[in-house]
């Protein structure tokens, strides 16, 4: 399951790079409107990673320990990723900790 999600994330990144650079060549920045490619890729990765983490958290009733195990990462890594993706203090539906 995690392998499929990571593979999906990789293909989404490739699609994002191809669609934002016009013809798929990294040197073509005519359609990027001045946004550096690195920034676009980081934003795409953050978005995909957020979605994967949210789906996994929902599947495990927001139990972060079980979520980290399901994603095959340490609990600490999950916490850092949640902070990076701005998910830790987010007021998200289905998050029982959002009311704290």
Which pLDDT does position 70 carry in this prediction?
A: 96
pLDDT band at 84 (very low <50, low <70, confident <90, very high): confident
> Averaged over 73-80, what is the pLDDT?
95
**Is 29 domain-assigned?**
no
In angstroms, the CA 18 to CA 14 distance is 6
Show the domain range for 69: 2-19+37-89
**DSSP string covering 52-96:** HHHHHHHHTTT-HHHHHHHHTS-HHHHHHHHHHTT-SS---TT-G
**Span 21-76, pLDDT tens digits:** 454 445 444 455 788 999 999 999 999 999 999 999 999 999 999 999 999 999 99
Which pLDDT does position 30 carry in this prediction?
A: 47
**Is 98 domain-assigned?**
no
Express the helix, strand and coil content of the chain in percent, nearest 5 each. 65, 0, 35
**Is 30 domain-assigned?**
no
> Averaged over 11-22, what is the pLDDT?
54
Pair 77, 70: CB distance under 8 Å: no
**Is 6 domain-assigned?**
yes
Which pLDDT does position 98 carry in this prediction?
A: 46
Question: What is the tally of structural domains in the chain?
Answer: 1
**Is 24 domain-assigned?**
no
Q: Which two tokens stand for residue 60?
A: 């495990």
């Amino acid at each position: 399951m995690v392998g499929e999600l990571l593979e999906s994330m990789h293909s989404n990144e490739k699609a994002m790079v191809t669609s934002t650079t016009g013809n798929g060549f990294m040197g073509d920045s005519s359609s990027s409107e001045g946004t550096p490619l690195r920034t676009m890729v980081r934003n795409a990765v953050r978005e995909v990673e957020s979605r994967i983490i949210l789906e996994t958290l929902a599947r495990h009733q927001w139990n972060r320990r079980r979520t980290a195990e399901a994603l095959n990462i340490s609990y600490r890594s999950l916490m850092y990723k949640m902070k990076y993706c701005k998910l830790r203090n987010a007021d998200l539906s289905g998050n029982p900790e959002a009311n704290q």
